[in-house]
Amino acid sequence: MPEDGLEAKAADRARPPAETAGGVISLDDVYKSFGSGERRVAPLAGVSLSVEPGMKLVIIGPSGTGKSVMLRLILGLLEPDRGEIRVFGRPLGSLNRYELQATRKRIAMLFQGGALFDSMTVGENVIFPMRAMGERDEERMRAVASERLRQVGLPGTEDKMPSELSGGMRKRAALARSMACRPEVILYDEPTTGLDPVTSDAIADLINSTHAALAGANITSIAVTHDMRVAGKVADRIVMLYGGKIVGDGPPEMFERLGSGTLPDGASEMDRMIRQFVRGEADGPIRTVV
Ligand SMILES: Nc1ncnc2c1ncn2[C@@H]1O[C@H](COP(=O)(O)OP(=O)(O)OP(=O)(O)O)[C@@H](O)[C@H]1O
Ligand SMILES: [Mg+2]
């Protein structure tokens, strides 16, 4: 049985460094709105962001601020109204259908809800993206699936149906599936929503260990979450979205500092927003609609 070390595979994948010179993913003054008239919502209104290769970026922000929309724009599943999105150095708007597909294959997405195909076994779910990418060697695919499931703490669950797993186990299985194709970028949309704090912490560990296992290939991880504990544990850098804009951008320590103690004199509106979000308070400059 061939050894399927993630590092070994990652090392094969030399990429020209120029490709990511301006960031593996970058957004330049991106606008995205939906609907018109009274029903118009504009989740992104001038967002610029550059993500360095190898980084673990966490995006936080209240519900409905466009976090999932941002991930879908990066995947080319949505198009911006204005502005440019570059992935692996190339503007998505300049890619034809095949180039876009090829770009997407280098990115894994763990969708919000971590949906598995309910009609397939767990093993088939993990194999699915490999098959979709044209892999034909059944034995090899099964071996990779077993290895990925073992890596996420679900050894021997290949033949179970998703309905037999708990919510946390389903997230883990979805993570095993997103790792199956040795991605260069992994996008996680709310990987811990609906999980208890202990399982959430284990998922944060798993994101970190997945990142470490693929670090040789300069894997870049971008996670969207509401959970500040997960954000603090995973992030090298946190970006907070609110009102269509980035209102905070810095290391987790900056967010911790703004969330604790007393606010210094002269704190900005943005500092107050970060503090309110980190502390989970209803009162403050962030307006919520309930
Ligand atoms: N395909 C779409 N068509 C119309 N409106 C959309 C579409 N996708 C998102 N929206 C709207 O854009 C806004 C941002 O949605 P998005 O899903 O990005 O929020 P979010 O920050 O991910 O929220 P949550 O934390 O609740 O997941 C919402 O008002 C949503 O209703
Ligand atoms: Mg979302």
Which residue ranges make up each domain of the chain?
Answer: 6-13+28-247
Contacts of 236 (CB under 8 A, 6+ apart): 55, 56, 57, 251
Q: Could you tell me which residue, 85 or 198, shows the higher pLDDT?
A: 85
Q: Whose CA is nearest to atom 24 of ligand 1?
A: 63
6-13+28-247: which CATH number, 3.50.50.60, 1.10.357.10, 3.40.50.300, 3.30.460.80? 3.40.50.300
Closest CA to 209 of 60, 9, 7, 74: 7
| Residue-by-residue DSSP string for 183-222 | -SEEEEESTTTTS-HHHHHHHHHHHHHHHHHTGGGT-EEE
Length of the chain: 290
Number of continuous H segments (helices) and E segments (strands) in the chain: 10, 10
Q: Whose CA is nearest to atom 19 of ligand 1?
A: 64
Q: Could you tell me which residue, 116 or 114, shows the higher pLDDT?
A: 116
Q: Whose CA is nearest to atom 7 of ligand 1?
A: 34
Mean pLDDT of the chain: 87
pLDDT digits (tens, 9 = 90+) for 3-58: 444 444 444 444 444 566 678 999 999 999 999 999 999 999 999 999 999 999 99
Q: Which atom of ligand 1 is nearest to the CA of 241?
A: 21
Predicted confidence at residue 2, as pLDDT, reads: 42
Structure-token pair, residue 86: 């570059």
Instruction: Provide the H-helix boundaries in the chain.
Output: 6-11, 67-74, 97-105, 122-132, 138-151, 167-179, 197-213, 228-234, 252-259, 269-279
Instruction: Count Cβ atoms below 10 Å from residue 229 Cβ, excluding itself.
Output: 13
Whether 148 lines ligand 1, by a CB cut-off of 6 Å, is: no
Q: Which pTM was predicted? A: 0.85
pLDDT of residue 111 exceeding 90? no
% residues pLDDT > 70 (the chain): 91
Structure-token pair, residue 212: 């470490």
pLDDT digits (tens, 9 = 90+) for 192-218: 888 888 888 888 988 898 888 777 778
Predicted confidence at residue 11, as pLDDT, reads: 43
Ligand closest to Cα of 67 equals 1
Band (pLDDT 50/70/90 cuts) for residue 266 is confident
User: Do residues 16 and 80 make contact, with C-beta atoms less than 8 angstroms apart?
Assistant: no
Whether 41 lines ligand 1, by a CB cut-off of 6 Å, is: yes
pLDDT of residue 79 exceeding 60? yes
